[in-house]
Chains A and B, each alone.
Chain A
């Protein structure tokens, strides 16, 4: 029996549909019931268009489901208004994206500091925390570089550091190895899973990269909006 204290993410009859025209709908996610326990690394795999990213967006409070419920760390995400969702994304979730999404105009350390500042940290505290995160990810030497001069692997390390900056219990990663070569991809996931295990973070990874399977505690397969 899994108690509420051990569950990190729970969805019930989660459904997301998009209107194609006046009579037709496209069901991106259908009746997804999911329970992810704290500290678990879950990999959601499946072909393109299977609904993986839509599910991840809903778990992260970026889009609202058409029906069903999502509970994250005992917060009912589906009942939150826009303001509460913004706060939820800021404090409860860390995101990693396929294309890194680092702000080009900010240096590596500033990209990390941005998240810390959003969560109320001021300099020099934010600078110190950002430095120790970059150190943890072995990229401190690039702290004053701008993203454009970094390799793909380095960019993703910075993105991981950014996702850890708000000290959230949950990390949601969308195709984190999608833009990396095999070596950089494996290193990135190795690092992410190590940090997640050490700090007991719940990680949900959406990917169809089979190299990641070995790092996951559980593998979920999605197809046509359903978890098989």
Chain B
């Protein structure tokens, strides 16, 4: 078949470029939303995923690291350690405190973990995770946003902390994690002998599900989660806060993309009305004409997708530099889903132009 759909589209080059550009910007926005979502997923769960702890314990009804309260006596750690199948136990204490950085007051999510920890240390990209009292580790995005470097100081409750490490995969957008020693965190809270979460590493020959069961039986007042359950809990917590906003922006971007395609094709049909009437006159069926419009729409969406992808690749380093707290991370799966979304936008965008097509009559071909 003569490639009539593509030819008619490319005949109006400037319109085609403007439309593909418009779609590209919508796709880029969807890409950023997807990138932010994947970034939130990594940021909200990266700390847990990178930890060697296979089981997490906390106060009953607490479900996640960020938005639930849990305070446990350190004595419980010793009892947990005595449970059969447990190899190692460590505690972390999460506190929220105001910090002063270069005359700015900022709220910090601080996790206190044990020195020489093997379970609670974050993924370090600069400096060390083996910190001492008076030292802290800050998230990479937080450091970038506040121009902090190794050796700089942060004042928390009139105590000075020197930055000894910079970590990654600890940016949950709404908060970036900071880390101190457990004893420093307990001092900042004002209660010694307290932890928020207990991390458990099972023995090599231990069955994790059996160990979880015996911990649940042995400590009925505690919530016991496997690593995957705890990751999922944190993800869901972030999704309830962030996902609706991202969805709303994503849907608006998709609608605007669909509207751009629809307007372009609608205008093109009006402009080429005589051509479509002629096609009807020579026996092109309505279905064949519909296919021409759908093919045009999908072709624009496809080109728009690659333009959007290019914009995303080019612009994302600048966006991250401009807004360090935004964590962009896009997977091949997400990129594929965005491609499917753009094709769907193309199909939906062709609906109104197709309706217009049905109101063109073959006899219009005789009009001068």
Contact = CB atoms under 8 A, between A and B. Distances in A.
Interface of A: 53, 56-57, 60, 62-63, 83, 86-91, 95, 97-99, 101, 103-106, 110, 113-115, 117-119, 122, 162, 166, 174
Contact of B283 (A63, A87, A101, A122): A87
Given A62-B361, A117-B1, A118-B288, A105 B10 contact: yes
Interface in B18-77: none
Contacts of B286: 86
B11 to A, nearest CB: 4
B2 A106 contact: yes
24 contacts: A62-B362, A62-B363, A62-B365, A63-B363, A86-B285, A88-B283, A89-B281, A90-B284, A91-B283, A95-B365, A101-B274, A101-B281, A101-B365, A103-B4, A103-B279, A104-B275, A105-B10, A110-B2, A114-B2, A114-B4, A117-B2, A118-B282, A118-B283, A166-B282
Contacts of B10: 105
Contacts of A103: 4, 7-8, 275, 278-279
A113 B11 CA distance: 18
Contacts of A174: 366
Contacts of A63: 361, 363
B314 interface: no
Contacts of A56: 366
Contacts of B283: 86-91, 118-119, 166
Given A86-B283, A90-B283, A106-B7, A101 B278 contact: yes
Contacts of A86: 280, 283-286
Contacts of B288: 118
Interface string B230-268: 000000000000000000000000000000000000000
A162 B286 CA distance: 20
Contacts of B365: 62, 95, 97, 101
Nearest to A100: B278
Contacts of B274: 99, 101
B368 A98 contact: yes
B282 A53 contact: no
A88 B94 CA distance: 79
Interface residues of B, number: 25
B358 to A, nearest CB: 11
Interface of B: 1-2, 4, 7-8, 10-11, 274-275, 278-286, 288, 361-363, 365-366, 368
A95 B7 contact: no
Nearest to A104: B11
A97 B278 contact: yes
A88 B366 CA distance: 18
Contacts of A119: 283
A116 to B, nearest CB: 9
A59 B368 CA distance: 20
A105 B7 contact: yes
Report which residue of A56, A101, A110 has the largest number of chain B beta carbons within 10 angstroms of its beta carbon.
A101
A113 B282 contact: no
A104 B279 CA distance: 13
A90 B282 contact: yes
A115 B281 contact: no
Contact of B11 (A83, A105, A115): A105
A53 B281 contact: no
A99 B8 CA distance: 19
Nearest to A57: B363
Nearest to A82: B286
A162 B282 CA distance: 9
Nearest to B283: A90
Given A62-B362, A62-B365, A97-B366, 13 more contacts: A56-B366, A62-B281, A86-B286, A90-B282, A90-B284, A95-B282, A103-B4, A103-B278, A105-B11, A118-B288, A122-B1, A166-B282, A174-B366
A83 B275 contact: no
B282 A89 contact: yes
A106 B366 CA distance: 20
B14 to A, nearest CB: 14
A122 B1 CA distance: 7
Contacts of B281: 60, 62, 89, 95, 101
Contacts of A99: 274, 368
8 closest A-B pairs by CB:
A90-B283, A105-B11, A105-B7, A62-B363, A101-B278, A89-B283, A62-B362, A57-B363
A215 to B, nearest CB: 22
Report which residue of B10, B278, B361, B366 has the largest number of chain A beta carbons within 10 angstroms of its beta carbon.
B366
A166 B283 CA distance: 10
Contacts of A118: 282-284, 288
Contacts of B8: 103, 105
Contact of B282 (A57, A106, A115): A115
Contacts of A162: 282
A53 B367 CA distance: 10
B283 to A, nearest CB: 2
Nearest to B9: A105
Contacts of A166: 282-283
A114 B5 CA distance: 12
B313 to A, nearest CB: 32
